[in-house]
Chain A
């Protein structure tokens, strides 16, 4: 159907007047090629929220990968004589109910959280993204079926579903936890991707690619996905923090990671009984968890602002 000839609306004329796009006139005022990604990166670098959260996350990953750099104490070496002990030289956070060094357990606990967070998010983006993209791209019956499939999983509450899933296994390890969260977390990503692909699919440049004879794979991979990925990245970044909380919650409930694995959630669970008498046992793993989640949420916010086309 005929699209009305586009001339600028008053607000667009204003934007042109403000000219935030920095369009290069023939005068060649902008000499370096500037992709939208590099523009976003340029904005991010100047955003204090990004710098702080990125620094925290980098620290977290280093801690998770090389805990030995931060502490020489064995987190599993527990001496009951130090039961709920307070600060002591070499043990800045004190001791927990079993006499284990809390500082060391906070350091080593990062690994579980980071691993779960990254693996679950990757899995969710890949599975959910693939299903959402295919549903949106092919449309029709394919979309109807896949969307109903997504809806079914979407309706299952994340935590309850994870609990039920985990009960099915006689053993507990990090992989069941990852699988549980992934299984119930992918629908959201599928929906985000589906929405993004649907809006990009109708773009003129996709039409132009089809007119050239591009294959479906090329159109999906070269044209649609790079332009649809932005909202997925934003949601993934924020969700990462939520997945970590979820794992901690499951461990807290006693059905997540086994107690043989050092985890913040497990430690928070153990600290419940000592809440009155020795609050520091609960404090440190909780703060670690909170800071981690906050860092990812701030990162997600900063990335969303940088990638938001309306602010460009």
Chain B
């Protein structure tokens, strides 16, 4: 991998698997199959960086977010936080870990309890982890947090519905920041916002990262946003990671066919490019995660498909002549988009 870091990753995922059982039965349920939402992925997150996790519906990225947050217990695999496996933790030990890994959710309209004031929402982390802030100082800390995210500290007695979508998302960010975590998992944090508001929140994320030394796992389907904010990116398809690299490698030298198709489909606000873009049209639908294709999962839609693809599942490795891992037997660079450097 180009420019690999010498320090240890603060979060590492090895062979993470999450299968959701499909059951039948009225009283005692019997398993008849499984949705293989995440089927063995490896990831590394280093301090101070933003790792992007991209993919389309059903790829498993939201499930991965939930696993990283230990909202669900993985079926198998390890999640190493500073070397310690948190995958099977529970109880007090898990609660302690939560101080260091927090989440920001997608929908600003449902991620805040409508019956709690904004002040209570942001103060709740302090009530759950009583040792972080003594009671007397909590109000001030809440107001400081509101200011840090660009909201008026005097609004702590207001209710969520009195704020706009962008403001609510900031409240969610303030809540995630309260415990001063090392890592924040951002699950599509700007997808539900208006275009003019997205930029505000994206800039806020960047500012907070610098100010508090945060590391982000940034999950999104919008590749334009991901390029802007992420230093490294992993591309997911049907529960597997198909390509990983830093921002330049993925956007300028993509090697996996799916990555290339994905990039070619991203709309660019520039009409002069019409008719000049390398457009790859995928046919067919994404297969069901309950019944993924044998061998390479992308083979049913891939234009390079050969017999070996149905038999041999390609490993995520650095192929000869390339500089970052890709899970394809025929991985090859294709410059799908023309990058221009600004500023």
Contacts and interface: CB of A to CB of B under 8 A. Distances in A.
A204 B191 contact: no
Nearest to B55: A2
Given A205-B111, A227-B114, A36 B124 contact: no
A203 B110 contact: yes
Interface string B150-181: 00000001110111100000001001000100
A9 interface: no
Interface string B115-128: 11100000011001
Contact of A207 (B55, B105, B124): B105
Contact of B111 (A3, A35, A204): A204
Given A1-B58, A23-B163, A212 B115 contact: no
Contacts of A22: 162
Contacts of A213: 94-95, 98-99, 128-129
B158 A24 contact: yes
A1 B110 contact: no
A209 interface: yes
Contacts of A1: 37, 57-58, 62-63
B128 A207 contact: no
Interface in B120-143: 124-125, 128-129
A215 B95 CA distance: 9
Query: How big is the B interface, by class?
Result: 35 or more
Given A36-B161, A208-B105, A214 B124 contact: yes
Contacts of B71: 207, 210-211
Nearest to B116: A222
Of B113, B128, B164, the most chain A CB neighbours within 10 A belong to B113
A3 B106 contact: yes
A48 interface: no
A260 to B, nearest CB: 47
B201 interface: no
Contacts of B55: 2
Given A1-B62, A24-B162, A227 B113 contact: yes
Nearest to A4: B57
B51 to A, nearest CB: 18
B192 A2 contact: no
B57 A35 contact: no
A223 interface: yes
Contact of A2 (B62, B102, B159, B172): B62
Contact of A208 (B58, B159, B172, B188): B172
A2 B163 contact: no
A23 B61 contact: no
A226 interface: yes
A176 to B, nearest CB: 34
B328 to A, nearest CB: 23
A5 interface: yes
B164 A23 contact: yes
A23 B110 contact: no
Given A5-B192, A25-B164, A35 B98 contact: no
Of A21, A148, A209, A218, the most chain B CB neighbours within 10 A belong to A209
A302 B158 CA distance: 26
Contacts of B113: 205, 209, 222-223, 226-227
B141 to A, nearest CB: 15
A186 B110 CA distance: 31
Interface in B1-43: 26-28, 37
Contact of A23 (B112, B128, B161): B161
B333 to A, nearest CB: 28
Contacts of A5: 188, 191-192, 221-222
Of A7, A35, A203, A213, the most chain B CB neighbours within 10 A belong to A213
A204 B115 contact: no
A34 B159 contact: yes
Contacts of A167: none
Contacts of B125: 212
Given A2-B221, A25-B164, A212-B128, A204 B58 contact: no
Q: What 10 pairs between A and B have smallest CB-CB spacing?
A: A5-B191, A204-B111, A213-B98, A213-B95, A33-B157, A2-B57, A204-B110, A205-B113, A6-B192, A226-B115
9 contacts: A1-B58, A3-B107, A7-B192, A34-B161, A205-B114, A212-B125, A212-B129, A223-B113, A226-B113
Interface of A: 1-7, 21-25, 30, 33-37, 141, 144-145, 148, 203-205, 207-215, 218, 222-223, 226-227
Given A2-B56, A204-B107, A215-B128, 6 more contacts: A5-B191, A6-B107, A30-B162, A36-B114, A205-B112, A208-B112
